[in-house]
Amino acid sequence: MITVYGIPNCDTVKRARVWLDEQGLAYQFHDYKKQGVPADRLPQWMQTLGWEKVLNRAGTTWRKLDDDTKASVTDAASAAALMQTQPSVIKRPIVEWPDGRLSLGFSPELFASHR
């Protein structure tokens, strides 16, 4: 089963879900806002994808953080702590594919390569 992690009002997550629907691929959606960030998954995501890539420093949520909070994110542990309390700073979507691979973000080419 494909699992898509994100927030439902994110445009990139919406595009990813539409693409999966159009391809007829079944998936489950994990909403960070309602279900939280899965603490058992976050370390794997950061190790596999790199914590610097999982942390979205270009997004609105990051830009709204105070300077002290931003400055406190210096390694994987501090990034994980922030991601747990502010799930919107996680780049979206993170997708777990049936073969165990992970992807970050969305493009039709990226998703097609995981089919």
**Residue tagged active-site, from 4, 10, 55, 79:** 10
Question: Annotated catalytic, 21?
Answer: no
Taking the C-alpha atoms of residue 2 and residue 26, their distance in angstroms, rounded to an integer, is 7
**Residue with the two structure tokens 């960070």:** 32
Whole-number Å distance between alpha carbons of 85 and 81:
7
Query: Residues 64, 69, 70, 73: what is their CA dihedral angle, to the nearest 10 degrees?
Result: -140
Distance of CA 7 to the CA centre of its chain: 9
- DSSP symbol at 88: G
Give the active site residues.
Answer: 10
